[in-house]
Amino acid sequence: MSQDIISTCHSERSPRHSERSEESQISPFGRNDIMTQKIFAGETMTEKRVLAVHGPNLNMLGKREPEIYGSTTLDEINANLKALGEKLGLCVETFQSNYEGAIVEKIQGAMGNCAGLLINPAAYTHTSIAIRDAVLLLDAPVIEIHLSNIYKREPFRHKSLIADIAVAQISGFGVQGYYLALEGLAVMIR
């Protein structure tokens, strides 16, 4: 039985969006740079749906090899993605599965109703032609994310089947990579 983790978007925006203090202009990891300021400079964005897909074993973040992946849990990453998404005018839906077919079906389901995809295929990065083919179905920018620098790890991790079809790859920034990717995606889909 699948233990897929799904977190959907909320269609209503919170009232706090109308009041943007200087403090709220800082992203969850403390950045207050030009990109973030430009996004928060009072310009309104139509809320667009972004899908964040997490591959196998990422549900074990915080417990699994913290020396490589850190102590932040997937629930914390998802909460931060949603909070940052709200500030960026994006509706972030998150999904995690240890099953290749479930990931493929989730990506297929995003066809035509997703403005962008953030994906950490985890171990499937190096092996899944099926996930690659599903990503190719999307008419939206895709950013591939890895917590660790896959190019400084074992040789079998150096090959990504997603990298050449993604608009960008962020690798080695830990959990910050997710937030960098979402900020970059927000700029791309404006």
Question: Dihedrals φ, ψ of 77, to 5°?
Answer: -60, -45
Q: Taking the C-alpha atoms of 47, 84, 136 and 148 in order, what is their torsion angle to the nearest 10 degrees?
A: 180
Which of the following is catalytic: 10, 17, 54, 69? 69
C-alpha span between 96 and 182 (Å, rounded): 17
C-alpha span between 157 and 47 (Å, rounded): 35
Annotated catalytic, 151? no
C-alpha span between 131 and 118 (Å, rounded): 13
Among 47, 49, 117, CA closest to 87: 47
Which of the following is catalytic: 54, 124, 146, 178? 146
Helix segments in the chain, DSSP class H: 34-40, 66-69, 74-87, 100-109, 129-136, 176-188
Annotated catalytic, 146? yes
Strand 90-96, strand 48-54: pairing: parallel
Query: Active-site residues: which are they?
Result: 69, 146
